[in-house]
């Protein structure tokens, strides 16, 4: 699998100074930009849409890992491809025809991601795991930053890793929500490949060092 990746969550950035924070991530040892798109329907919060993503994409020098927390994501697959998204993650809970959605994402040249809410069992992905590049395990209830980590996540990551290995898939596991230097090592030991961190990075006094330390712990 190679080295573990760090994806700072731009939802926690300073929106009044977005270019500055994007350039900080460019300079850092982080690997991806994690970008949460929320519609106020699928989750009880509205984040930002296409214009802000376009502004981020204009300055970002690393892959855009776009996480759609929206209903009916199929409507927007093409639009996100046109905004240079490298990975497009949809929620299992928002997709009636998951396989079709994954094919549509692939056909636009993006990597496929599927996110699972904390209450959703990994077994729902058994039939599609070979079509999924990344499974995003939500370790908090989606919608708001700064929540505390759900402890069941470790077991969920371990079970998912066993499924991926059992199916001989090359799917990577991403964990999003409440990730800090306190749980990063245990998550990686459980099988996580990508760690998303928001508040922990952006609220720290020295963001570059915080990213460096997370990357060191994860690898």
CATH number for position 36? 3.20.20.70
pLDDT tier, 216 (very low <50, low <70, confident <90, very high otherwise): very high
Residues 6+ apart with CB under 8 A from 171: 129, 130, 132, 133, 134, 135, 164
Give per-residue pLDDT as tens, 88-134. Answer: 999 999 999 999 999 999 999 999 999 999 999 999 999 999 999 99
Tokens of 174: 């991403």
Q: Which domain holds residue 88?
A: 5-218
- Cβ(128)–Cβ(30) below 8 Å: no
Give per-residue pLDDT as tens, 38-84. Answer: 999 999 888 888 899 999 999 999 999 999 999 999 999 999 999 99
pTM of the full structure:
0.96
- Count how many domains the chain has: 1
Residues serving a catalytic function are 36, 176
- Cβ(197)–Cβ(179) below 8 Å: yes
Cα pseudo-dihedral 210, 140, 80, 26, rounded to 10: 0
**What share of the chain has pLDDT > 70, as a percent?**
97
Q: Is the pLDDT of residue 142 over 90?
A: no
Mean pLDDT, all residues of the chain: 95
pLDDT value, residue 1: 46
What distance lies between CA 6 and its chain's CA centroid?
Answer: 10
């Amino acid at each position: 699998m190679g080295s573990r990746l760090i994806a700072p969550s731009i939802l926690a950035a300073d929106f009044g100074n977005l270019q500055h924070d994007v350039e900080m991530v460019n300079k850092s040892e982080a690997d991806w930009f994690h970008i949460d798109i929320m519609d106020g329907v699928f989750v009880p919060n509205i984040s930002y849409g296409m214009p802000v993503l376009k502004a981020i994409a204009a300055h970002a020098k690393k892959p855009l890992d776009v996480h759609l927390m929206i209903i009916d994501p199929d409507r927007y697959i093409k639009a996100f491809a046109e905004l240079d998204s490298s990975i497009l993650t949809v929620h299992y809970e928002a997709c009636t025809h998951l396989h079709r959605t994954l094919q549509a994402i692939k056909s636009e040249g993006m990597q496929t991601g599927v996110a699972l809410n904390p209450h959703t069992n990994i077994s729902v992905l058994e039939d599609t795991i070979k079509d999924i590049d990344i499974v995003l395990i939500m370790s908090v209830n989606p919608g708001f930053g700064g929540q505390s980590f759900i402890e069941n996540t470790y077991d969920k990551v371990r079970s998912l890793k066993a499924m991926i290995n059992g199916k001989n898939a090359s799917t990577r596991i991403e964990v999003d929500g409440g990730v800090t230097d306190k749980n990063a090592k245990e998550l990686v030991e459980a099988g996580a490949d990508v760690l998303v961190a928001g508040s922990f990075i952006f609220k720290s006094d020295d963001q570059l060092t915080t990213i460096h330390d997370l990357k060191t712990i994860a690898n």
